[in-house]
Structure 1
């Protein structure tokens, strides 16, 4: 991964977080983080 690609992906993530904060009060980010923790626990169970 080049620096340009990493910066572009980082910028897209920040834009998405800012957009979620402005439009949804971070509800989508909270939902995705809860689902991610559930998936991590589920994967640890099958390990």
Structure 2
């Protein structure tokens, strides 16, 4: 992955998160953060 592609993907991801928070609030991000932490913990267990 080149630096240019990584920067564009980062900008798109940041914009998507900002739009989600602006339209629906930050509760979704807390829920997704908790689920992501559980997923990382589960994957680390199976590693």
Structure 2: segments with no counterpart, 5+ residues: none
Query: For the aligned residues, what is the CA RMSD?
Result: 1.4
Structure 1: segments with no counterpart, 5+ residues: none
Residue-pair matches, total = 47
Greater length-normalized contact order (CA 8 Å, ≥ 6 residues apart): 1
After TM superposition, list the pairs within 5 Å mapping 1:7-22 onto structure 2: 7-22=7-22
Task: Note the alpha carbon deviations across 1:1-47, whole angstroms, 9 max, x for none.
Answer: 11210111010111011111101112222221111111122223334
**TM-score, normalised to structure 1's length?**
0.75
Runs ≥4 residues deviating over 2 A: 43-47
